[in-house]
C-alpha cells in the first residue's frame, strides 16, 4: 500500500505486481489517501504487508531514527517514531548509537559498513528508486548551488547576487 493519487508510486506498484506475478507472487494493491495512510495506517503500523513511502536522508548520517528500537511507533510512545518497519536489532542499535557519537570519520565509516552488512542481510526495507529533485535558477544568479542533500537550495541565499 501507499498513498492514492501518487502517480509515481502507483506506477511502481503496477510494475512490481506485474514482475512478481511472473514468479508466482500475488500482490494486492490497497492504497489510501495520504491523510489516512500517514496519519493512521503507517503511524499506527496497521499494514499487513508492504508499505511504500519515501525518506529524505542525509548521506552523511546513518538515519538512526529509522532503525532504533525505541523509535518503533506503538501505544507506549503514543505512536511516535520513524521506525515504521518495526525493525529491532540490538547490534544495529549499538552500531547506530556509537556512530552518532563518533567524531573520527574513518571509525564512523567502519560502523556504517557494519550496519549496512546487517541491513543487507535482514532487509528491513527495500529501497526501490531514488527520487530526482530538479532545481533551476534564473540565468545570472551567482553563488546558487544545490546541495544534493536534504537542505533546501536556499541554504546559502545570503550569498546570492545578480550580475
User: What is the mean pLDDT of each successive set of 10 residues along the chain, which is 163 residues long?
Assistant: 93 95 95 94 90 79 85 92 92 94 94 95 89 83 82 87 88
- Cell numbers representing residue 96 in the block: 547506530
Coil/strand/helix, residue 162 = strand
Residue ranges per structural domain of the chain: 1-53, 57-131, 135-163
pLDDT of residue 15: 95
Coil/strand/helix, residue 102 = coil
Long-range CB contacts for residues 111-116, cutoff 8 Å, separation at least 24: 111/62, 112/62, 115/62, 115/67
- The DSSP output letter for 58 is -
CA angle 32–50–84, rounded 5-degree value = 85
Contact (CB, 8 A) for 79 and 118? no
Note if the pTM is more than 0.85: no
CA–CA dist 62, 3 (Å, integer) = 26
Amino acid at each position: 500500500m501507499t498513498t492514492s493519487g501518487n502517480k509515481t508510486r502507483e506506477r511502481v506498484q503496477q510494475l512490481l505486481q506485474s514482475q512478481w506475478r511472473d514468479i508466482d507472487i500475488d500482490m494486492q494493491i490497497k492504497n489510501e489517501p495520504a491523510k489516512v495512510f500517514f496519519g493512521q495506517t503507517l503511524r499506527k503500523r496497521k499494514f499487513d504487508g508492504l508499505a511504500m513511502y519515501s525518506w529524505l536522508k542525509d548521506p552523511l548520517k546513518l538515519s538512526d531514527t529509522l532503525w532504533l528500537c525505541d523509535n518503533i511507533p506503538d501505544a507506549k510512545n503514543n505512536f511516535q517514531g520513524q521506525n515504521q518497519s518495526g525493525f529491532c536489532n540490538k547490534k544495529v542499535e549499538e552500531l547506530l548509537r556509537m556512530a552518532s557519537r563518533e567524531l573520527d570519520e574513518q571509525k564512523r565509516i567502519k560502523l556504517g559498513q557494519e550496519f549496512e552488512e546487517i541491513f543487507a542481510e535482514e532487509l528491513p526495507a527495500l529501497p526501490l528508486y531514488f527520487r530526482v529533485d530538479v532545481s533551476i535558477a534564473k540565468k545570472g544568479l551567482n553563488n546558487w548551488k544545490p546541495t544534493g542533500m536534504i537542505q533546501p537550495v536556499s541554504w546559502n541565499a545570503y550569498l546570492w547576487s545578480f550580475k
